[in-house]
Amino acid sequence: MNSLIVSVSPHIKTKDSCKRIMWSVVLALIPTGCAGVFIFGLSALKVIIVSLITALLTEAIIQKLRHKKTTISDGSCFITGLLLAYNLPPSVPWWIPALGSFFAIAIVKHSFGGLGHNIFNPALAGRAFLVASSPRFMTNWTPPRWQIDTLTTATPLGIIKEKISHPLPSYLQLFLGDRGGCIGEVCILAIICGALFLLCKGYIHWYTPFTFIFTLGILSWMFMGNTLFKGNWLFHLLSGGLFLGAFFMATDYVTTPLTRRGQIIFGFGCGILTFLIRKFGGYPEGVSYSILIMNAFTPLIDRYTKTKKFGYTKTPNPK
C-alpha cells in the first residue's frame, strides 16, 4: 500500500516531452539534409548552416530582450532554421537564409508570443516572405553537382508550367533527387525514411500527409492531363515539395488541427489548394502556400471538430 500514490489529474504519464519530440524531428530531417548536400554540394551546406545560426541567435536575442528564459535547447528554433533552409534553392546568397530565418523567428513566431502561439508555420512563412521580396534568387535553380554542363535549370513542375523544351526526369530520378529544386525537397527516399521514423514513434499520424497526397494525386489524375482522367498523377506527386510539406510541415503541432477529423480536413484542403495553384496559378508549385492558407483555417476547423466532453449532452433550448 505504501507504493500507492494519490495525486490530482492528469494521471496519464509519458516519457515524451516537447524537447524530446523536437529533437526527434531534427533527427528525422538529417537524412534529407545529407541527401541535399550530396546532390548539390557544399553550397547547400552553407545555406543550412547560415539558416540554423541565424535562427538560434534570433531566438536567443529576442528572449533576452523580452527577459524570458532562453529556450534554444528545446529544438523548436533549430527545426525552423532547418526547414527554412530545406525550402531554399542551394545557390542563394548567404543573406537570403539569414533574412528568411530572422523573419521566421522574429516576426512569425515571437510577434505572436513565441512557441505555441504562432498562427502560421514559421519556416513556410519565411519562405513566402523571401519569394515575395527576392523572387530572382528564389527561382534560380541549380542542377545536381554531377550535371556540370548546365549552369541553371528548371524544376520538373517549372518545365511543364513554362512549357520549356527540356526533357522531363524519370520517376526514378524524381524519387532519388536527380533534378533541380530546393535543398530538402528533391530526395523523396530520404524524406520517407525520416517520416517513417516519426510515424513509428507516434510523433506524427498518417491522417494529414496521406489525405494531402491522396487528394492531390486524384485531382492530378483527373484534371492535369490533356483530357479528363489522363493526368500523370505520379509525376505530380513526386515533383515539387509535396512529401517534405506533407510529412514535416502539415503535421506541425502548433499550426494544424488537433483532432483526427480536423487533420483529415486539413490535408484534404491542402491537396485541393495545391492542385488549384498548380493548375490555374502563375506559380508552378503550391505546397507551401496551401499549408499557410490552411493554417489560417485551423482555429475554425478545431472549433467544429472538437471532441465532445464525456457524458455531455446538449441542453435543449427553453421554449
Summarize pLDDT for 111-135 with one digit per residue, the tens: 998 888 999 999 999 999 999 999 9
Taking residue 269's Cβ as centre, other Cβ atoms within 10 Å add up to 21
Q: What percent of the chain has pLDDT over 70?
A: 91
Across the chain, which distance is largest between two alpha carbons, in Å?
80
Start-end of H helices in the chain: 18-40, 42-65, 76-86, 95-102, 122-133, 135-138, 156-161, 171-176, 188-201, 207-223, 233-238, 242-248, 260-280, 287-305
Q: What is the pLDDT of residue 260?
A: 94
In this prediction, residue 1 carries a pLDDT of 54
- Going by pLDDT thresholds of 50, 70 and 90, the confidence category of residue 76 is very high
Q: What is the pLDDT of residues 277-305, one digit of tens each?
A: 999 998 888 999 999 999 999 999 999 99
- At 319 the pLDDT is 58
Which is nearest to 105 in space by CA: 82, 127, 130, 80? 80
For the cut 60, the answer to whether the pLDDT of residue 151 exceeds it is no
pLDDT classification of 40: cutoffs 50, 70, 90 = very high
pLDDT of residue 54: 97
